[in-house]
Structure 1
């Protein structure tokens, strides 16, 4: 087929424009790729810690809506020592380990007891806090509690997904266990006399007693190495030895140089 000179000229201009447009598109594609690479490079220096932020003194929002607590100070110190940026994801407690396994978060620091069952799913750092549990109740009710079995047929509140929940289910099936997403709701029900007692970490129990004068400790401290008292650890994805080693190195350092004692005294003394 024959084309007129005018058509050839127009065609040449069109081809040149097409090449130029494609060239600009390619430049933009390369620019976006470079920026994306830079973003991922920066995010590699971020550590996303998962937690459930209603668990004072470990992690909670203060009156200024700032996330604070013992765990927060420990995590921030780890990030400072490793030259990382700490990010915190507030979520349900029972979703922490699944979030680690699906890589939604890098680690969990939220008063996690290092139980054998949890060790099958995630890896833990060395212990950074030794804990026990405590029952709390209303003044004038169950204050003479001597044995946990005396709570049989009673309504006892506990946080969903915790080792304390599993402890009661396994050891005391006669107790009527009431599970909550947050201890805040358990305390509200306790004050309203919808439940008879709450089983909670001893440090968190002390925090609640300081805020709520109507509450008291009942019975003795609770410890069982299969559930409670094996220590709290920071959880990471199974096999993530690089991150685990970095965390452990910092924990060892701050325990030896006095930093850990300062953080501990701030929240527990």
Structure 2
């Protein structure tokens, strides 16, 4: 009889310890990586407060899954390695779903889509459809992005490709004429270069580009480590609720004036 009692006690203790471990894990802040600034999706206000469409969306997801959010700043070229090295729990920083990235990370359902554009200085517009006219020109891209890969593969033999660590450095060289053109995310062209403004020195030289999917992906999503399927499912459920009850539309119209729905 004593032997049976000990066995049952051991099982009970193990169950309690397992529950305690899960509770402790749930109580820990959920660390979300972000590369800033990327206005209007993630950026800092003058007082240092982190804000933006994705930041508010992430905070709302955390509220609904009853976790505290902790935002971790990480430069883009190290953002997936940092995730795999467990520096944070997920990446919520406008990461497009691509087949190449699917080999490394687990994605949530997509929650928005954004186009890319060619930009040039006013009066120096280029015709990207005329590839021969691009011969010998310089184009800037942010290093490690899907735009970097697209430009390298598609135009690398015709144009000199210059890669930049940040969007700010890229924008500066466009403004000062050190580049003939740049290929960048449309929202970055808006926030960093003011391309829609009538008095802007930099203008859009192409239509809004979302194809081919093999380069530009299947929408933006949260990235997780492959084993964190439960966390991804929690995010998917929360994102579905946020879209269904109108919270998503409220946040979208607060930060952007063009359609980013997918």
Show CA shifts across 1:224-256 (max 9, x none). 201115200100001210110001001111011
In 1, the alpha carbon distance for the partners of 2:192 and 2:100 equals 29
**Which deviates the most, 103-112 or 64-73?**
64-73
Contact 2:108 2:235 in 1 (8 A): yes
Match of 1:91 in 2: 74
In 2, the alpha carbon distance for the partners of 1:156 and 1:66 equals 33
In 1, the alpha carbon distance for the partners of 2:40 and 2:51 equals 8
Match of 2:204 in 1: 217
Match of 1:120 in 2: 103
Q: Once superposed, which parts of structure 1, at least 4 consecutive aligned residues long, lie more than 4 Å away?
A: none
Correspondences of 1:42-191 after superposition (within 5 Å) = 44-142=27-125, 145-147=127-129, 149=131, 150-173=133-156, 174-191=158-175
Match of 1:261 in 2: 249
Q: Helix, strand or coil: the match of 2:141? A: strand
Match of 2:229 in 1: 241
Q: Report the TM-score when normalising by structure 2.
A: 0.82
Provide structure 1 residue ranges, at least 5 long, that are not aligned to the other structure: 1-36
Which one has a bigger Cα radius of gyration? 1
In 2, the alpha carbon distance for the partners of 1:148 and 1:233 equals 33
Structure 1 residues 207 and 148, CA, compared in 2 at 3 Å: closer, same or farther? farther
Measure how far apart 1:64 and its partner are.
2.2
Find 1:193's aligned residue among 151, 172, 177. 177
Structure 1 residues 167 and 44, CA, compared in 2 at 3 Å: closer, same or farther? farther
Contact 1:133 1:221 in 2 (8 A): yes
Contact 2:143 2:163 in 1 (8 A): yes
In 1, the alpha carbon distance for the partners of 2:25 and 2:142 equals 36
In 2, the alpha carbon distance for the partners of 1:209 and 1:191 equals 8
In 2, the alpha carbon distance for the partners of 1:90 and 1:160 equals 17
Q: How many residue pairs end up in the alignment?
A: 231
In 2, the alpha carbon distance for the partners of 1:74 and 1:253 equals 12
In 2, the alpha carbon distance for the partners of 1:82 and 1:257 equals 16
Contact 1:139 1:216 in 2 (8 A): yes
Match of 2:187 in 1: 203
Provide structure 2 residue ranges, at least 5 long, that are not aligned to the other structure: 1-19, 258-262
**Which deviates the most, 95-104 or 59-68?**
59-68
Aligned-residue Cα RMSD (Å) equals 2.0
Contact 2:128 2:134 in 1 (8 A): no
Q: Report the TM-score when normalising by structure 1.
A: 0.80
Q: Helix, strand or coil: the match of 2:96? A: coil
Match of 1:10 in 2: none
